[in-house]
Structures are given as C-alpha cells and as structure tokens.
Structure 1
Amino acid sequence: MQALINLMEQSQVLAAVIGLVILMMLEQAHPFFDFFKGSIKEKGKHLLANMALGLTNALIISVFFVGTWLWASNWAYEHQFGLLNWLQLSGLPAWGHTVGAILLMDLWMYLWHVINHKVPFLWRFHRVHHADAKMDVTTASRFHTGEIILSSALRIGIILLIGLQLWELLLYETLMFAVVQFHHADLALPEKVDQALRAVIVTPAMHKVHHSRWQPETDSNYSSLFSFWDRIGKTFRLHNPLKTLRIGLDEFDSEQDRKVKGLFTMPFRKADDQNSSK
C-alpha cells in the first residue's frame, strides 16, 4: 500500500506540472481575456508570485499533513469506522467505496468553499485567491497558507467520518486539481464545448463568474470538480456576455497585492490600507 501511495503522490505532482505547462501553452494560443498581451515580464512575475504560494503550501502539506492523513485512513480502515466502511460491511462493493469517496470529498469541498465565503475570518484568507485580477492557470495554486493549513487539519476529521483510504484521497485530489487548473485557465473555449463539459465538470466560463468583482456572482459556482453541486445547492450562475465580466476584488487591487509579500500578508491587512496605498 505504501508503494501505491508513493506512486500516486509522484503521479499527482507530475500531473500538476504537465497540466500547468499544457494549459499555459493553450492560454498563449487561445486566450480569452489575454491579460498579459505583449508583456512576458508581467506574466512571469504573476506566475512566480502565485507559484510561491503553491509551492509553500505543497511543502507544508507534505511535511505536516500527509502522514497524519495516512494515520487517520489506517485507523478508520482497521476499526471499520466511517460512512463508507459501514456501507461496505452492508455489501457496498470496492468500486462503490472509491466512487463514494470521490463524490463525498467533492461534496465536502463544495461545502467548505461556501463556508470560506460566508465566515468573515475564513474569507480573509480565501480572498487572497479571489484578489487575482489576472486569473489564469497559476491562480489554481494561489491559496493562502493559512487557508491550506485549516483545510488540511479539517481533512483529518473528514477522512475519519467518510472512511477514506489515503489512495482514494490522492486519486480525488489528482482529478480535482486537474479540473481546477482547467477552469482557472484563461482559455477561449467554443460555447457549445463549454456548455457540454459543464454538464459534468466545472468549466472556465462557469468558474470565471465565481471570480467576478460583483458579490452576487462571487457567491456562486462554488463547485471544484463536479458542477452538479451548484445546481443541487441552487448556487449555479452564468454571465452573458462573459467578456464584460470584471475579475478580482476592488479593495485589493494595488501593486502591493501582486507581490509575494503582499499575498502572504493580505489576510492581516484591512481593505482601507489597500486604498491608501494606491
């Protein structure tokens, strides 16, 4: 099992890197907003700032949380604890356990995302992600370390309650992050293609609305992997024409908010501080 987990962790990193490279190339070839037109330097600075957060978070998760998740997973399995393990005792097949794990983790991610928008303390951290006015594939990695620590700690309880096996969590995260990279990418997809895809997964046209500066749109389209949670939760929303959408947060629009230091300190600064620094 440990060999499988190590292989899946390596595959997860490889998939993320490949996804980043491919989507950056597609953004260059078929951009939707083309935020960095004629400015490779600005695109490079944007990439470095976002990836500084992403790499920091990946390191923290690897050092402090993966081992704890493994313990929680093993404990749940050995004690047959958690919803999926109880259902398996009642005849749920192994494939049902895995499908259930993916669906329940994605439901949790939807609910956790909603909570991050509704609870002011959590929003202070989550707004670092939303403050990116030039959203592209690198924005998928732009989450404040405080949010990642809180999310990772809560995941210990989620693993126990659901009865997740660690390899199932890694499988879900690999699938989920691939879709998260895709729907953050600055891509110009044909409307019919986007429409067909968003019947199942979250797409760029759908997720761009979530990054709108207008709060009713910001508070919509919370899904990470599967799009149907928003339809079930009645939080699904589109914006037409999409080209008129304005991405970012008005109160975090200064040069300071585009630098690595500014991203790390953003949750601890008041919005008024940003306006005075413009």
Structure 2
Amino acid sequence: MQALINLMEQSQVLAAVIGLIILMMLEQAHPFFDFFNGSLKEKSKHLLANMALGLTNVLIISVFFVGTWLWASNWAYEHQFGILNWLGMPAWAHTIGAIFLMDFWMYLWHVINHKIPFLWRFHRVHHADDKMDVTTASRFHTGEIIFSSGLRIGVILLIGLYLWELLLYETLMFAVVQFHHADIALPEKADKILRAIIVTPAMHKVHHSRWQPETDSNYSSLFSFWDRIGKTFRLHNPLKTLHIGLDEFDRSEDKKVKGLFTMPFRKGNPKENKE
C-alpha cells in the first residue's frame, strides 16, 4: 500500500507539472484576457510569486499532514469507521463515493471560507490575483492550507476514506482547478456541455469577479452540479466585461511574495466589517 501511495504522490506532482506547462503554452498562444500584453517578464514575476506560495504549501503538507492523513485512513479502515465503511460498499463504489463526498466537502469548505470573515482574510489572497491564470490555482495562503489540512483529518475519518482515494481525488480535482483558472476560453457550446459536469473557465472566472454577488457564487472545485444544488450557480455575459481581483489589494506590494504572505493580517476588505 505504501508503494502505491508513493507512486500516486509522484504521479500527482507529475500531472500538476504537465498541466501547468500545457496550460501556460495555451495561455501564451491564445490568451483570453491577455493580462500581461505578451510580456514574458511580467508573466514570470506573476508565476514566481504564486508558485512561492504553492511550493511552500506542498512542503508543509508533505512534512506535517500526509502522515497524519495516512494514520486517519488506516484507523478508519481497521475500525470500519466512516460513512462509506458503514454502508459496506464494494471497492468500486467506495472509490466513487469517496470522490463525490470529498468534492462535496470542498464545496462546503469553499463556501465557509467566503462566509466567515476570519477565514476570508486568508482566502482573499487567492481572490486578490487580478491577473488570474493557471498559476492562480496554486496561490493559496499557507494559513488556509493549514486549516483545511487539519480539518481533513476529521473528514477522512467521517467519510472512511482511503489515502490513495484522497490522492486520486486531488489529482483529478487539481487538474480541473488548473484548467478553470487558466487564462483561456472554450467555445460557448463546448463550455456549456462541459460545465454540466465539471467547472469550466467561463464558470470559474465569474467566481473571481470584483463584484461580491459574483464572487460569492460558483464555489465548486471539480463537479459543477454542487452550485446548482446549492443555488450558487451564476454566469456573466459577455465574459470579456468581467473585472477580476479585489479592489482593496491592487497595490504593487500586494503582488509580491511578502505582500501575499502578509495580506491576511492587513485591513481593507469590506467583508471584515461584518465582524
């Protein structure tokens, strides 16, 4: 089992790197918003700042959480604890159920990050990117990653999740997350067909709008139907008129690595007035 987990971790990293390279090439060839006006220097600065956060988070997860997730998974299996184990599902159904339940949790967690001001302070680092592209998929504050990784221990126990199922879900989910953050657009008909199942660029761009009613919509990560079920689905037409980012964090310091790490501890977001 450990060999399988190691293989899946390596495959997860490889898939993320391949996805990053392919989508960056597509962005360069056919950008939708063309935030960088063809400037490789500006795009490189943006990439380095976002990936500094992403790589920090990967390191923290690997060192502090993967072992704990493995323990939780093994304990749930040994004690036949968790929803999927209580249902006595066959292996194939267990895996499908694990993917759906994890994705439902991700939807709920995303909503919570928008509704609770303290958590929004960390999540807004992701939304403050006014030049959203594939690298934005890795731009999450380390505090948010620590909170979500800690809570995931309980989620693994509650669902009765195997660690390899979690790794499989994260590989699928992150591929879609990279895809829908990329500065690309599909033909409307193709996007409409795909968004019946998964989150697409046209759908997720709305979530990164500066207008709060749009920011507080389209929370899904992998499967798009959670937003329809939760009545949080929204589109914006024409998409070219959408304004991405947060008004409160447009300064040059907000785009640097130091600014990203310190953003949760600085005032400025209207949502904090609810506290």
**Structure 1 Cα separation of the partners of residues 51 and 156 of structure 2:** 27
Counterpart position of 1:164: 161
**Structure 2 Cα separation of the partners of residues 201 and 26 of structure 1:** 20
* Equivalent residues in 2 for 1:101-250, closer than 5 Å: 101-250=98-247
**Structure 2 Cα separation of the partners of residues 167 and 247 of structure 1:** 35
Give me the identity figure in percent: 89
**Structure 2 Cα separation of the partners of residues 47 and 192 of structure 1:** 31
- Contact 2:28-2:38 within 8 A present in 1 as well: no
Counterpart position of 2:84: 84
- Contact 2:202-2:239 within 8 A present in 1 as well: yes
Q: Secondary structure at 1:72's aligned position in 2?
A: helix
**Structure 2 Cα separation of the partners of residues 100 and 188 of structure 1:** 31
Counterpart position of 1:275: none
Deviations 1:178-226 (A, max 9, x none): 0000000000211111111101000000000000000000000000000
**Structure 2 Cα separation of the partners of residues 107 and 189 of structure 1:** 26
How far residue 29 of structure 1 moved from its aligned partner, in angstroms, is: 1.3
**Structure 1 Cα separation of the partners of residues 249 and 60 of structure 2:** 26
Aligned AA (1:4): L
How far residue 38 of structure 1 moved from its aligned partner, in angstroms, is: 2.9
- Contact 2:121-2:264 within 8 A present in 1 as well: yes
Task: List alignment gaps of at least 5 residues for structure 1.
Answer: 273-278
Counterpart position of 1:18: 18
Counterpart position of 1:7: 7
How far residue 57 of structure 1 moved from its aligned partner, in angstroms, is: 0.1
Q: Secondary structure at 2:264's aligned position in 1?
A: helix
When the two structures are superposed, what TM-score results if normalisation uses the length of structure 1?
Answer: 0.96
Counterpart position of 1:39: 39
The count of residues paired between Structure 1 and Structure 2 equals: 269
Deviations 1:135-169 (A, max 9, x none): 00000000000000000000000000000000000
When the two structures are superposed, what TM-score results if normalisation uses the length of structure 2?
Answer: 0.97
Counterpart position of 1:253: 250
Matched, 1:75 2:75: yes
How far residue 112 of structure 1 moved from its aligned partner, in angstroms, is: 0.1
- Contact 2:134-2:179 within 8 A present in 1 as well: yes
* Equivalent residues in 2 for 1:85-100, closer than 5 Å: 85-88=85-88, 92-100=89-97
**Structure 2 Cα separation of the partners of residues 258 and 41 of structure 1:** 14
CA RMSD of aligned residues (A): 0.7
How far residue 52 of structure 1 moved from its aligned partner, in angstroms, is: 0.1
